[in-house]
Structure 1
Amino acid sequence: MNAKLQSTDMVESSADKISRQSQLLSAQLQSIRERLYEPESAKTLKTYTSREVATLLGIAESTLRQMSLDGESAIPDRQDNGRRIYTLSQINQLREHLAHKRPAEALEFLPRRRPGDKLQVIAVANFKGGSAKTTTTVHLAHYLAIHGLRVLAIDLDPQASLSAMFGYQPEFDVDENETIYAAIRYDDARRPIREVIRQTYFDGIDLVPANLELMEYEHETPQAIAEGYGRGNEIFFRRLATVIGEVGADYDVVLIDAPPQLGYLTLGALCAATALMITIHPAMIDVASMNQFLAMMSDLMRVIEERGGVLSHDFIRYVITRHNPNDGPQVNIVTLLRSLFKDDVLAPAVVETTAIASAGLEKKSLYEMSRGSVGRDTLNRALDSVDAVNHEILNHIKQVWGR
């Protein structure tokens, strides 16, 4: 009898079991990351060939070569075979040099916002898993930075997938009070947003990382409202916009990877945003889920407007993701969405491809993949697809700036 009771007492509880498995997985993820990013366990960005740089800058490769010979602006390194290679930081130095040297073409070389141009805050949202929300955010961030813009990426999702894409494992690399929660919390531990912004390995992109402490904001906000944090910039749906405003002069675009639910954090993102990107996987169950998301979002937006919030977005666009153009039902759904939402659906779509899946396994975007990592044709098709989507978004940003 006693032996039977003892064995019952030693049975692992569900909470203990899940906690143990979480710790085991975390340790393995940390080990994998250290192997991938030796010796400093940090991500680094690839370099660019002269041909790639010339294409990005819109100049002849011979012009770039002559600039290098003349010692103009950034001086590239040389590989053993004599080829010149540039870092993204050097490319941005070249942009600034050419913009100064050719003022009539300055906006082509350096398309950053000018005095009077409105900071663009783009929230990427959907509460259906698998809609490629984080993948869309990270590819857009990388694309904008490669084209010379200054980007702040804010990970608002407690699952911290965006942070992981930038090389931060939330339970190891993001300590307590080091997320956006630190800047919008309601107590005396609140910190300026500048103190939680991190530079990344990707020149031109800064990051506010995430971890599970973001859930504290969801738990504390109802009590804060009850205690009187319900006026002016202190009200929950204005807090994110207020802290972004503190650093707005440092950036051209702020990207917010919103959490996959309509909580207080997402409502703050909707209010802070000047534009919304809603990702859609064109499958019937995903579209039905998105319909519920839109209905709930519109109801909550009306509640915010009744409380004095102003929700005016420069553009709202739907992004078709993981699209298989050879799948008949998917094609029918895309056709339906375009007939209903017209130009609000981006004309290009992100195709479903093993290249994006392979990049995701390595915590990379397509812009970081080496040519030998996946098939050349596969990578090129994937890049063409993602480039087309991001190019259209950049054009929307430029239109807001009157370009």
Structure 2
Amino acid sequence: MDQVAAFRNVAEVLRAAQQVAIEVENAPELRKTLRGFTPAECALLLGLTLPELKARAAQRLAEAPAGPRGRFSFAQLERLRSRTLPSADMPLRRKPGREALATVVFTNFKGGSAKTTSSVHFAQYMALAGYRVLLVDLDSQGSATAQFGFDPSREAGPDACFAAWTTARDEGRSATFDAAVLCRRTYWPTIDIVPAGAALAAAEESLTRRATAGQAEEPLYFEEFSAFLRQVPDRYDVVVVDTRPDVNMLMTAALHAASGIVVPTRASMTDLASTGEYFAHLAGYAAEFAQAFGTPLPLAFARILITAFDPTDRSQEALLALARERFGDMVLGRPFLHSRIIGTAGLGKETLYEYEPSSDRAAFQRALASTNAVNRLIEREVLRFWGRRLPAAEPRAKDTAR
């Protein structure tokens, strides 16, 4: 077998394996579906205790009976939210025309920093909190795409990922391009996704070509992602962006559309050194851009998220303390705890919000509480961006209710 044939064989076998895994994991529908939620979970998600939920919703729970095993669907959860909470406690969805679309970009140089894990969990947390979310995968590896049950090699081709937009711009078809066709429905009713795969390389090449052509060429490459977001349907509150872990044009274009960035990093010297290089790059680029165009990057916030954190590891504790001492509020107040539960859930391409443990529920609850605490802090940044009244830092119901 020659070199080309060997490479193609590996690609074909692994692509087929991924497709089979998606279908086996999600039989008989062959697509991922969202599990139901227990009354205790519904209470937690609504910020109520279970007795409070039962007291407020006794009649309505009877009107909308739970599904199998006493579970409630996502749609039933949304109805419970609208029927049981006082209007003052309802999540205020974005007011189009008065409040800008909030775009949160997860980015860093370093691979293995839990960037995709963080972005996908944040998207699902926001959906569970009542927001309408568009997840845009700008990483040609397509990990976020696969997490939502799409096959990056078969369902994120040149006409089905962000590359379709840049091609339309290159060919002068942007005025008639329907960006909505790229926003695919997922099994989460309030999350759509713009998937990614190897075809995304065409978008990178297009932006690189424009960047090397100089400022005279329109449209400017760094405005491309912002232009795309202006064309997407006005039904979203939040855009969550997963970027590729290196210096690239797609990441740069995402920065110009970002309301804020979250930079995940592990608490190790190697990872923090890489994160330092990322911020050095960001500082240099922001300075050059401000000098050239007389305006800063449009970031309302930039936060460092410590991931895979082990509180029993003294070196990690020391590095987290050092980061907080040096960078203050730029470091999110809660780290994303290390847990083998995330790996266990990942075997079935599930997040903590989708996974149901069969054992070691205490470890699962610790991981879930950590994830909720991190995502709540990022949600607060979004609300601050909108100029909203910030909610209490902690929920009324315990994160560990189940």
Counterpart position of 2:92: 111
Counterpart position of 2:280: 295
Counterpart position of 2:59: 66
| 1:216 and 2:202 are equivalent in the alignment | yes
What code does the residue aligned with 1:368 have? E
Match among 258, 262, 267 for residue 282 of structure 1: 267
Counterpart position of 1:8: none
Match among 94, 109, 132 for residue 80 of structure 2: 94
The SS at the match of 1:48 is coil
1:15-54 map, 5 Å: 15-54=4-43
- The alpha-carbon distance between structure 1 residues 351 and 208, as it changes in their structure 2 partners (threshold 3 A), is same
TM-score (norm. length: structure 1): 0.88
Superposed CA deviations along residues 211-255 of structure 1, whole A, max 9, x for unmatched, are 1111122223343345577466x2111110111122363111100
Q: Distance in 2 between matches of 1:326 and 1:228?
A: 52
Unmatched segments (≥5 aa) in structure 1: 1-10
Contact 1:123 1:276 in 2 (8 A): yes
Which stretches of structure 1, 4 residues or more, deviate above 6 A after TM superposition? none
- Residue 78 (structure 1) shift: 4.2
| 1:127 and 2:109 are equivalent in the alignment | yes
- Residue 330 (structure 1) shift: 1.2
Q: Distance in 2 between matches of 1:302 and 1:390?
A: 30
Q: Distance in 1 between matches of 2:95 and 2:158?
A: 36
User: How much is the aligned-residue C-alpha RMSD, in angstroms?
Assistant: 2.0
What code does the residue aligned with 2:2 have? E
Contact 1:51 1:61 in 2 (8 A): no
Counterpart position of 2:71: 85
Contact 1:54 1:64 in 2 (8 A): no
Q: Distance in 2 between matches of 1:295 and 1:177?
A: 35
Counterpart position of 1:165: 147
Q: Distance in 1 between matches of 2:216 and 2:366?
A: 50
- The alpha-carbon distance between structure 1 residues 55 and 292, as it changes in their structure 2 partners (threshold 3 A), is closer
Counterpart position of 1:199: 185
Counterpart position of 2:245: 260
Superposed CA deviations along residues 134-167 of structure 1, whole A, max 9, x for unmatched, are 0000100110000100110000000010001100
User: Once the two structures are aligned, what percentage of the paired residues are identical?
Assistant: 31
Superposed CA deviations along residues 53-104 of structure 1, whole A, max 9, x for unmatched, are 23322342232222123x3xxx13344xxx64211122113333456xx43x
TM-score (norm. length: structure 2): 0.88
Contact 1:119 1:248 in 2 (8 A): no
Contact 2:261 2:301 in 1 (8 A): yes
Q: Distance in 2 between matches of 1:56 and 1:225?
A: 45
Counterpart position of 1:6: none
The SS at the match of 1:366 is coil
- Residue 274 (structure 1) shift: 0.6
Counterpart position of 1:351: 337
What code does the residue aligned with 1:47 have? G
Question: Who wins on radius of gyration, i.e. which is larger?
Answer: 1
Counterpart position of 2:394: none
Contact 1:96 1:110 in 2 (8 A): no
Number of matched pairs: 378
Contact 1:274 1:315 in 2 (8 A): yes
1:314-325 map, 5 Å: 314-325=300-311
Counterpart position of 2:393: none
| 1:249 and 2:249 are equivalent in the alignment | no
What code does the residue aligned with 1:19 have? R
Contact 2:166 2:206 in 1 (8 A): no
| 1:378 and 2:371 are equivalent in the alignment | no
Superposed CA deviations along residues 148-200 of structure 1, whole A, max 9, x for unmatched, are 00110000000010001100111122233210111233433764321111011
The SS at the match of 1:155 is strand
Match among 65, 83, 101 for residue 76 of structure 1: 65
What code does the residue aligned with 1:331 have? E
Contact 1:262 1:297 in 2 (8 A): no
Q: Distance in 2 between matches of 1:223 and 1:377?
A: 52
The SS at the match of 2:232 is helix
